[in-house]
Structure formats: structure tokens, C-alpha cells
Amino acid sequence: MKEFRPAKKRVEVSVGESVRLVRELQELSQSQLSELTGIPQSTISAIENGRVNLGVERAKVLALALKCHPAVLVFPGWETAEERAA
């Protein structure tokens, strides 16, 4: 068996971009996501465009609606050094 070689990172993704990407993968419009979460569509737009911080509580609500872990939305570019990882 060959040694595992991690894939190279291709693009940097912001918090807002991660929300948009996951929403689009779920084939939801901002309006539909707003209905599912109770978060105004204008706020979702502002989050996706980096004008409003996501915040932990909104991340939890969005993650439930988008069927993903909140960390996917909050920490899209998180990396740890292998020697420091537990």
C-alpha cells in the first residue's frame, strides 16, 4: 500500500464563501435557507458577502439547516501542523 499523501489546498475560502458553497451544494436559495432558519435573507446575504460576522449561534442554526457541522462554516481554512495535532 502506498503512503498517504494529503491533497494540496487549491483555494482559500472565507466564512461567507463557505456558507454560500454549502448552501448551493444543498441546492437552496438564500430565501429558502431563510425560511428554514428564521434568519432574514438580507442577513444571509450579508454573511455570504462578508458584511456581517457569522457568529457561533447563527453558525449552529445554519449548520442544522445545511446538514453539516458548524465548524465547516466557521473554520473553512482550519489547518494544524501534523506534529502539533493530537
For the entire predicted model, the pTM comes to 0.78
Pick the more confident residue, 39 or 79. 39
Share of the chain above pLDDT 90, in %: 71
Interior angle at CA 54, CA 61 and CA 75, nearest 5: 95
Q: Decide yes or no: CATH 1.10.260.40 for domain 15-74.
A: yes
Domain regions of the chain by residue span: 15-74
pLDDT tens, residue by residue, 53-77: 999 999 999 999 999 999 999 988 7
Residues 6+ apart with CB under 8 A from 36: 28, 65
Instruction: Give the angle 55-62-44 at the CA atoms, nearest 5°.
Output: 75
Q: Helices (DSSP H) in 1-86: which residue ranges?
A: 15-25, 30-37, 41-48, 56-66, 70-74
